[in-house]
Amino acid sequence: MIRIALLVAAKDLRIERRSRVLLWQVLPFGAMALVLCGLALGPQHAGHSSAGPGLFYLVMLLVALLVINRSQVIEGSPGTKASVATLGLDPAGVFLGKALALMVELWLMGVVLLAGSVLLLHTALVGTLSALPSVLVTLAALSAAGALYGALSGGGQGPATLLPVLSFPAFAPLLIAGERSFSAALHGGALWQWWVISLVALAAYVALGILLYGVLEES
Amino acid sequence: MGSSSPVVVLRDAVVLVSGFPLLSGVNLELAAGSLSVVTGANGAGKTSLLRLLGGLAALSSGAGVVSGIDLRGGDLRELRRRVGWLGHEGSFYDDLSAYENLAFAAKALERPLSEIPTVLERVGLASRASTIARQLSAGQRRRLGLAWLLLRRPELWLLDEPYASLDEEGRTFFDQLIGDVIRGGATVVLSAHDPLRSSSLGPRTLTLAGGLVVEDRS
Amino acid sequence: MIRQLSQRLLGPVTLVLLVLTLWLGLWVTPSFEVQGNLARLVYVHPAIAWVALYVSFGTATIASALYLWRRTRSAVVDRVAHCAMEVSVVFIILTLITGSIWGRPAWGVWWAWDARLTSTAILGVFALAYLALRRANDDPELRARRGAVLALLAAINVPIIHFSVQWWKTLHQGATVFTPDHGLKIHGIQAWTLLISFIGFTLLFFWLLRARYRLEVLRDERYAASLEEALVQRRREGVR
């Protein structure tokens, strides 16, 4: 399982490094979304860091949708899927590999957009840096969930609108946990509950992915 | 050449997709180590038959056993490991090179990477090893698909319109390759609009129409 | 015979219990000390919420789990999962509506970002997502498998959503019926009315489930008939 996971993750990341879709399309989208958040708040409120954590995670959710969809689309045509299916890869390994690649990609996006939130939304630098561990854990949980929901939504062959419909209810508690822990890092407050939510969600999605990805593959 | 028990047995096999019967009751037996050509007009069910044999399409009703695995309730993942698929769409990752695509398959199957140059040489793509798959011509992509199969060495080869996009040299090469594969003991089923050119291989020709086998010539 | 009898009696008994709830709740039971007549919604709202979140959603989840297990996989459990989830949507919407009606005078707003309201709304979106997923797939087996997986994912999210939202914010009153040490908060005719309402709405769920299930059976029969016709047409293409 681990061997296949690393193989699949390496393949996804190699494809991404070569195609640079995330670098040239998704990252600019995320940056633009942060700018739009500032515009929506207006000049008087845009600099208030109290809105920063929530807006950061809102943008990350939108970015995550694009990254998850991309993760499924790179599996390519039905012909590619058929060829890869004949390799008989362990579905649990495929799930972990997909989730691992997603996690790396979201972490990279997250670090850049965190810098963006310091710059554009004026979240305090020290607080933002201390929020980094919780951001990474929340994005890891998002990745595990995303790998599952991406496959559930038809693996890139289904309608583009299906992924957000399916995944947003599941992403909601992660949004809450992420925003709360980021705010606690900025302004003080209890952090442990939000770490629990993110870690439990991560463990639950990893376990479910290992158990259920094979069923989704068969379908 | 092959074992005496058939490698494929289908009885009244029906394959449904979105309520439409792609196959509407196929009865078929294929011997191990044989070559069969499936012909028919567009929409006759050729691709669907190949996909069924490869465990890539579900059997909706009827019975079927391929390579000892029951198509209803058997381990289809294991069946897929035993077959090789060459589709008429792209069969690999467009953003990886020829070598990288084969390396992915080799690592998945725990085969040594040292086999890859040999396989690429065999299909005439040695000079294109580092070319991104997207940049290969249609014929070269076909050859890469064959390289993938040569690396995998499956028991059952399922080739969907393999002659498409091949020039005359490519078709001759392909005929020779299939002859070698058959002599090596594998079973080959391929689909084509026109019957196989090389009669020396003695193919059995199955004609499909309306999701049924309407003619069977040896 | 017992089964037939119980199926025949389900509708009438449900109706009787709901009418009884209405009569007792509106006219017989005394008004509440703090919220007055507004709190008579206690005979409706908690029971509907109970059915929405536990009975209906729970039935859909269990049926989905049974579908995913090969030994119990069948068209019957898939239908039960689908129909229960549809009825769940209805009850979740009713929960939110009755909750809003109660909340407006109590909190001054139709909607507040309260823990229970928010988590119920998220579960409602989950149920709608399940229905959207089923509609996006034509193939019956594909539809059933993916729906079953989503139902399980939704169920796993129930405690995560519950705790995340609860820790986030809550205006909702605490437990309505029981004290922390499992004693009863309400007594006498009020307690009996509440019990009758819970039973009545639970039976209403089963009545709706059965009605929806029958419709689904008819739909599947029509699909099977159309498949037969499609097979005949297809085979004709092969006749020369």
Q: Which of B109, B190, B196, B191 is nearest to B153 (CA)?
A: B109
Tell me what pLDDT residue C56 has.
93
Q: C149 vs A169: CB contact, 8 Å cut-off?
A: no
Query: Would you call C48 exposed, middle or buried from its count of C-beta atoms within 10 A (0-12, 13-18, 19+)?
Result: buried
CA dist A23 and B70 (Å) reads: 46
Q: What is the largest CA-CA distance in chain A?
A: 58
Q: What is the largest CA-CA distance in chain C?
A: 85
CA distance B93 to chain A (A): 7
**Taking all residues of chain B, what is their mean pLDDT, rounded to a whole number?**
88
Tell me what pLDDT residue B1 has.
41
CA closest to A86 among chain B residues: B80
Subunits that touch chain A (at least 3 Cβ pairs < 8 angstroms)?
Answer: B, C
Token readout for C136 is 């996006």
Q: CB within 8 A of A93, min separation 6: which ones? A: A1, A2, A3, A4, A5, A7, A8
Could you tell me if B100 and B132 are in contact, meaning their C-beta atoms sit under 8 angstroms apart?
A: no
Would residue B62 be called left, alpha or beta, if left means φ above 0 and alpha means ψ between -120 and 50 degrees?
left
CA dist B67 and B155 (Å) reads: 8
Could you tell me if C116 and C170 are in contact, meaning their C-beta atoms sit under 8 angstroms apart?
A: yes
* Residue numbers of chain A with a pLDDT score lower than 50: 156
**Is B3 a residue whose pLDDT tops 60?**
no
Residue A198 one-letter amino acid: S
Tell me what pLDDT residue C176 has.
55
Q: B18 vs C223: CB contact, 8 Å cut-off?
A: no
Q: Which of A169, A139, A7 is nearest to A68 (CA)?
A: A139
Whole-angstrom CA distances from B203 to B180, B189, B199, B211 are 14, 10, 7, 21
Q: CB within 8 A of A146, min separation 6: which ones? A: A64, A67, A68, A71, A99, A102, A106, A167
Which residues of chain A have a Cβ shorter than 8 Å from any chain C Cβ?
Answer: 148-149, 152-154, 158-159, 162, 165-166, 168-170, 172-173, 176-177, 180, 193-194, 196-197, 200-201, 204, 208, 212, 215-216, 218-219
CA dist B36 and B30 (Å) reads: 8
Token readout for C175 is 């437990």
In chain B, residues with a C-beta closer than 8 Å to the C-beta of A71 are none
CA dist B54 and B8 (Å) reads: 10
Per-residue confidence of chain C (240 residues) as pLDDT tens digits?
777 777 788 889 999 999 999 988 888 887 776 767 777 888 899 899 989 988 999 999 999 999 999 889 999 999 999 999 999 999 999 999 998 888 888 778 888 787 778 888 888 999 999 999 998 887 888 899 999 999 999 988 777 777 776 777 654 555 555 555 666 666 778 888 889 999 999 999 999 999 999 999 999 999 889 999 999 999 988 765
ipTM, interface predicted TM-score of the complex: 0.86
Could you say which DSSP state residue A25 is in?
I
Residue in the structure block whose two tokens are 């639970």: C202
CA closest to A160 among chain C residues: C136
- Report the SS3 class of residue C226: helix
Token readout for C10 is 């389900």
Tell me what pLDDT residue B11 has.
95
Question: What pTM was estimated for this model as a whole?
Answer: 0.87
Q: CB within 8 A of B2, min separation 6: which ones? A: B31, B32, B33, B34, B185, B187
Tell me what pLDDT residue A110 has.
95
Q: C68 vs A215: CB contact, 8 Å cut-off?
A: yes
Token readout for C195 is 């019990």
In chain C, residues with a C-beta closer than 8 Å to the C-beta of B16 are 139, 227
Tell me what pLDDT residue B170 has.
81
Q: C231 vs B21: CB contact, 8 Å cut-off?
A: yes
Among candidates A19, A77, A86 on the partner chain, residue whose Cβ is nearest the Cβ of B84: A86
CA distance C58 to chain B (A): 29
Whole-angstrom CA distances from C126 to A167, C77, C130, C167 are 9, 20, 6, 21
Pairwise pLDDT comparison (B168 vs B101), residue with the higher score: B101
